[in-house]
């Protein structure tokens, strides 16, 4: 396959209607896209990043938190949740920003695979930041500790350098864009009796390598993409792996196809003082470790909106189209809350929308109309029997949502090949959980993607 990336033809700068001072919190993929689009629109941007480099979740580290369950609110936080062997679960053509394709590079020691390892994503984000000169907008090692709105309507951002004895600094901005990520604060499964169970517990946020699980009997909870990868990896060293999930309703003992030491179990009923774990339907085993691959919680410890924006059972709300709290729009916004999506292209669109609204180029409906829209959305979830914690789950409608935002922005809608590859990959991942990263049948669509990318070469 050709490598089309030589240099990218940039979208032209916008003519600003009104320029604002905007604070962006976080320099992960979402914060980078925010900085890029806000500046392109003519706004002044300061990005606050508590780490010493860009990349957010893609900055791999061997370090883990002292509390492997991430429950202690005073613990030193390790932002990343990546494990050493992690490869992307989306193909690079779909995953990359629309404006800056994630095609393999020939220069340097790069990973050309269609589902590359995490280092390659990090390199790609560095390329993106450098292409658009974003680093100069970022204040590294600067943690935001409080954000609140003054009576004047301006937003006050309190930050502090992480190193040294520097004082807190308060600065005023017209608008704040929150891009702090949502894969750092563990969600834990409730297990009756676990407090008296003598084994160890860990959340996947602190999983890096399989070695600590050698010769152990492990109960792993969850069926997400990470749970699938981690269960297989651990099976190579552990004595037994028991995958517990609500979707396994087997009353019989069923092993995972291709493995003789991995069992699919129903959900855990209790953990017992004698070291055993009881599953539904009466099965019981002795286990050493429970590994919670149970996802993450939205967490905005710095944000003080006087109760206007809350997190309730993992619903961040009320938010118009997952971005704007109606009564604070457009001066407070959130990028990157939805899940079960291809994140980067959606970040780009959300950021373009926010930037255009702030400058007055694009308009929002009235506060009343936005509130009604949010209420109608919540009602529809409730009628469908969807728990609140699924509010930002976009299974089945991410492209419709993206295209709606694209229309607001006057931007092109999602490419047909991107939708089709995303869909084909989802099916392939289900059919071949072991090797969907090596075998696929959508080569013709991949060619279309690269033909499209080639048009962006200047």
Q: Is 160 in the site for ligand FAD (CB under 6 A)?
A: no
Helix (H/G/I), strand (E/B), else coil: 217: strand
Of 97, 100, 183, 331, the one binding ligand FAD by CB under 6 A: 183
**CA–CA separation, 133 and 54 (whole Å):** 12
Q: Is 227 in the site for ligand FAD (CB under 6 A)?
A: no
Q: Is 29 in the site for ligand FAD (CB under 6 A)?
A: yes
Of 5, 24, 35, 90, the one binding ligand FAD by CB under 6 A: 90
Binding segment toward ligand FAD, per CB under 6 A, in 55-63, 161-169, 206-214, 401-409? 55-63
* Per rule CB under 6 A, count of chain residues that contact ligand FAD: 33
Of 8, 22, 23, 30, the one binding ligand FAD by CB under 6 A: 30
| Strand partners for 291 | 202, 220
Helix axes 343-359, 398-409, angle to 10 degrees: 30
Binding segment toward ligand FAD, per CB under 6 A, in 175-183, 253-261, 318-326, 449-457? 175-183
Q: Is 82 in the site for ligand FAD (CB under 6 A)?
A: yes
Q: Is 79 in the site for ligand FAD (CB under 6 A)?
A: yes
| Strand partners for 5 | none
**CA–CA separation, 298 and 392 (whole Å):** 11
Structure tokens of 269?
A: 């009923």
Would you say how long the chain is, in residues? 458
Question: Residue 169 contacts by C-beta under 8 Å, 6 or more apart in sequence?
Answer: 158, 159, 160
Least distance between ligand FAD and beta carbon 47 (Å)? 9
Q: How is 74-97 classified by DSSP, letter by letter? A: TSPPP-----TT-B-SS-HHHHS-
Closest CB to ligand FAD among residues 271, 341: 341
Q: Is 57 in the site for ligand FAD (CB under 6 A)?
A: yes
Beta strands in 196-335 (DSSP E): 200-203, 217-221, 240-244, 254-255, 262-265, 268-271, 276-279, 284-286, 289-292, 296-297, 310-312, 315-317, 332-334
Closest CB to ligand FAD among residues 85, 248: 85
Sign of the dihedral through C-alpha 147, 341, 187, 29:
negative
Q: Is 272 in the site for ligand FAD (CB under 6 A)?
A: no
Of 24, 81, 264, 359, the one binding ligand FAD by CB under 6 A: 81
Closest CB to ligand FAD among residues 138, 287: 138
Sign of the dihedral through C-alpha 215, 218, 223, 227:
negative
**CA–CA separation, 433 and 272 (whole Å):** 32
Q: Is 329 in the site for ligand FAD (CB under 6 A)?
A: no
Q: Is 337 in the site for ligand FAD (CB under 6 A)?
A: no
Q: What is the DSSP letter of 256?
A: P
Q: How is 104-131 classified by DSSP, letter by letter? A: --SSSS----SS-BHHHHHHHHHHHHHH
Least distance between ligand FAD and beta carbon 106 (Å)? 23
Of 8, 20, 25, 243, the one binding ligand FAD by CB under 6 A: 25
> Most distant CA pair in the chain: distance in Å?
69
Closest CB to ligand FAD among residues 56, 325: 56
Of 41, 49, 99, 185, the one binding ligand FAD by CB under 6 A: 49
Q: Is 437 in the site for ligand FAD (CB under 6 A)?
A: no
Q: Is 88 in the site for ligand FAD (CB under 6 A)?
A: yes
Binding segment toward ligand FAD, per CB under 6 A, in 22-30, 278-286, 306-314, 379-387? 22-30
Least distance between ligand FAD and beta carbon 384 (Å)? 25
Q: Is 31 in the site for ligand FAD (CB under 6 A)?
A: yes
Binding segment toward ligand FAD, per CB under 6 A, in 52-60, 255-263, 397-405, 428-436? 52-60
Q: Are β-strands 155-161 and 217-221 bridged in parallel, bridged antiparallel, or unpaired?
A: unpaired
Structure-derived torsion over alpha carbons of residues 291, 294, 300, 302, reported in degrees to the nearest 10 = -10
- Contacts with ligand FAD, residue ranges (CB under 6 A): 25-31, 48-51, 56-58, 79, 81-82, 88-90, 95, 143-144, 179-181, 183, 226, 302, 336, 342-344
């Amino acid at each position: 396959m050709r490598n089309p990336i030589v240099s990218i033809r940039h979208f032209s700068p916008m003519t600003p209607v009104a320029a604002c001072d905007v604070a962006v919190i976080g320099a992960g993929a979402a914060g980078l896209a925010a900085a890029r689009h806000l500046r392109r629109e003519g706004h002044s941007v300061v990005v606050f990043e508590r780490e010493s480099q860009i990349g957010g979740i893609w900055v791999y580290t061997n370090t883990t938190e002292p509390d492997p369950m991430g429950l202690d609110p005073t613990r030193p936080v390790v932002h990343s949740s990546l494990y050493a062997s992690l490869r992307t679960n989306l193909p690079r053509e779909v995953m990359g920003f629309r404006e800056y394709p994630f095609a393999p590079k020939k220069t340097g020691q790069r990973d050309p695979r269609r589902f590359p390892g995490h280092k390659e994503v990090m390199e790609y984000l560095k390329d993106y930041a450098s292409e658009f000169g974003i680093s100069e907008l970022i204040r590294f090692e600067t943690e935001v500790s409080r954000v609140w709105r003054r009576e004047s309507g301006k937003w006050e951002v309190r930050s502090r350098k992480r190193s040294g004895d520097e004082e807190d600094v308060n600065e005023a901005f017209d608008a704040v864009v929150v891009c702090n990520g949502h894969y750092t604060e563990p969600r834990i499964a409730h297990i009756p009796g676990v407090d008296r169970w003598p084994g160890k517990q860990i959340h996947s946020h602190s999983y890096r390598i399989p070695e600590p699980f050698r010769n152990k009997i492990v109960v792993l909870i969850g069926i997400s993409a990470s749970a699938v990868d981690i269960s297989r990896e651990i099976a190579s060293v552990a004595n037994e792996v028991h995958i517990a999930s609500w979707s396994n309703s087997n009353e019989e003992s069923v092993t995972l196809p291709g493995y003789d030491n991995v069992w699919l179990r129903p959900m855990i009923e209790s953990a017992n003082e004698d070291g055993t774990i009881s599953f539904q339907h009466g099965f019981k085993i002795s286990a050493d470790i429970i590994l919670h691959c149970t996802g993450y919680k939205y967490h905005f410890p710095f944000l003080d909106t006087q109760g206007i924006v809350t997190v309730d059972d993992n619903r961040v709300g009320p938010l118009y189209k997952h971005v704007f709290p109606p009564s604070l729009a457009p001066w407070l916004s959130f990028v990157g809350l939805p899940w079960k999506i291809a994140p980067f292209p959606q970040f780009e669109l959300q950021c373009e929308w926010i930037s255009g609204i702030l400058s007055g180029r694009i308009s929002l409906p009235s506060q009343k109309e936005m509130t009604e829209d949010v209420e109608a959305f919540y009602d529809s979830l409730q009628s469908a029997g969807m728990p609140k914690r699924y509010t930002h789950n976009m299974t089945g409608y991410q492209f419709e949502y993206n295209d709606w935002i694209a229309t607001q922005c006057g931007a092109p809608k999602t490419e047909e090949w991107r939708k089709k590859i995303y869909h084909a990959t989802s099916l392939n991942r289900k059919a071949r959980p072991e090797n969907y990263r090596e075998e696929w049948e959508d080569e013709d669509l991949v060619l279309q993607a690269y033909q499209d990318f080639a048009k962006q070469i200047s």
